[in-house]
Amino acid sequence: MEHQSNIFLILLLVLFSAKLFGEIFRKLSLPPVLGELLAGIILGPSALGWVELNEVLKLLAEIGIILLLFEVGFETDIKRLMQAGWMSVVVALAGFVLPFILGALVAYFLFDLDLIVSLFVGGTITATSIGITVRVLKDLGKRETLEGEIVVGAAVLDDILGVILLAVLYEFSKSNHVSFVEVSKVMLFIVGFFILAPIFAKIIAILIQRYHASNEIPGFLPTSIFMLVLFFGWLATALGAPEILGGFAAGLALSRRFFIPFGMALAAQDVGFTRRIEEEITPLVHLFTPFFFVAVGLSMNLRQIDWSSPTIWGLFGAVLLVAILGKVIGSMVLPLSWKKRLIVGVAMVPRGEVGLIFAEMGRTNAILDNVVYSALVLVIVVTTILPPFLIKLLYKEER
């Protein structure tokens, strides 16, 4: 009893500081997610040392991140992606391949890091943060413009690519070498999972929808969806993929525009059901997600970092450069004005959840040491803070 009530206090402290710093950052026009990260850094061994990352917090953090990836999948609009068409695809592919290769090359040749470490460095800077990007465009009232559609489409696509890459690298890291058979096997599993999981999830979702329609049971929907997400999280790991892929696949399957191939008519999902899912899952996502970002902050020990180390700052500068260039170069071929091209490129710069997951997974699996991990986290932080200001500036000049 006493013990459990102490856990209550810890949960309260984590949630409250996450929301407090998130709010302060929001008021300062900074991404709240950085505030949540800071809350973890302050509560953890880096500063106050009040909260230890225990089993319960780790579990809540993992539930938080698969729920967040569920939401990202749920908000993915396959039709919109097709509308923005080849421009999104170009931006996504270039913005995925260039940072990955450039990042890995810089780490491997300039900083003499191991191959797997270099691949993780490249991987960390591949995926644009959908959440942050959409938020910035929305705040500026530019979400519905052509460049807005391109950016959202590309961010969705490179998130998928980033998650697949993460799974591939995770598999590599376990065998600690890069083999073609291994790659093919992992790709096959991931692609297989990615094709079958949403269909499987969709079928379950249809059953849930039908049961829900004929039996209005209070609380049936959120618990069912929560179970679906847990199930696909577990299924993904059972197949060797990271659990977040399960959350994403389940979300994708339940998104309004998702359809099962081969014209299965029963796949039609009414708007009311989609809205109900959104309404009932959003509170859960918002409750659990802060635990992930605070946990990331808690797991960092900034005291152990040698801040005078030129390696950290050198790696930070070099990776930041390729992280920005890698995203901007791809947009330069678009048939748009130079300003619009720059806007698209800069809007793709923020790295967020997927980057942090990459870095975090690299660290917990002892692939990234404190130096590389710290440099990467710094890169993510800076790529997240800068673009909102730059985009605002570019739109101002345009007028």
Of 224 and 255, which has the nearer Cβ to its own copies?
Answer: 224
Which of 63, 157 has the CB closer to its own copies?
Answer: 63
Long-range Cβ pairs for the range 253-256 (8 Å, 24+): 253/73, 253/197, 253/198, 253/199, 253/200, 253/201, 253/202, 253/205, 254/73, 254/74, 254/201, 254/202, 254/205, 254/225, 254/228, 255/73, 255/74, 255/75, 255/76, 255/77, 255/78, 256/77
Minimum distance from CB of 348 to its own copies (Å)? 23
Q: Measured from the CB of residue 328, what is the shortest distance to its own copies in angstroms?
A: 30
CB of 357 within 8 A of CB of 65?
yes
Q: What are phi and psi of 5, to 5 degrees?
A: -70, -25
Q: Minimum distance from CB of 327 to its own copies (Å)?
A: 26
Distance of closest approach, residue 207 Cβ to its own copies, in angstroms: 13
One-letter amino acid identity for 112? D
If the CB atoms of residues 80 and 286 are measured against its own copies, the closer one turns out to be 286
| Spatial distance between the Cα atoms of 136 and 40, rounded to a whole number of angstroms | 24
48-81: b (≥16 Cβ within 10 Å) or e? eeebebeeebbebbbbbbbbbbbbbbbbbbeeeb
Q: Which residues contact 207 (CB under 8 A, 6 or more apart)?
A: none
Closer residue to its own copies, CB minimum distance, 138 or 303: 138
Q: Which residues bind its own copies (CB under 8 A)?
A: 1-2, 4-5, 7-9, 11-12, 15-16, 19, 23, 26, 55-56, 58-59, 62, 215, 217-224, 226-227, 230-231, 233-234, 237-238, 242-243, 279-287, 290, 364
Q: How far is the CB of 260 from its own copies (least distance, A)?
A: 24
DSSP 339: H
Question: With respect to its own copies, which residue has the nearer C-beta, 26 or 339?
Answer: 26
Sequence-ordered list of residues with C-beta below 8 angstroms from that of 38, at least 6 positions apart, any chain: 21, 25, 297
Report in angstroms how near the CB of residue 11 gets to its own copies at its nearest: 6
CA end-to-end span of the chain, whole Å? Answer: 62
When the beta carbons of 11 and 321 are compared against its own copies, the nearer one is 11
189/231 with CB nearer its own copies? 231
Of 215 and 308, the one with the shorter C-beta distance to its own copies is 215
How many angstroms separate the Cα of 112 from the Cα of each of 105, 250, 279?
A: 10, 40, 49
Q: How far is the CB of 118 from its own copies (least distance, A)?
A: 22
SS3 351: strand
Strand partners, 351: 128
Whose Cβ is closer to its own copies: residue 7's or residue 332's? 7
Q: How far is the CB of 184 from its own copies (least distance, A)?
A: 23
CB 29 within 8 A of CB 288: no
Minimum CB separation of residue 86 from its own copies in Å reads 33
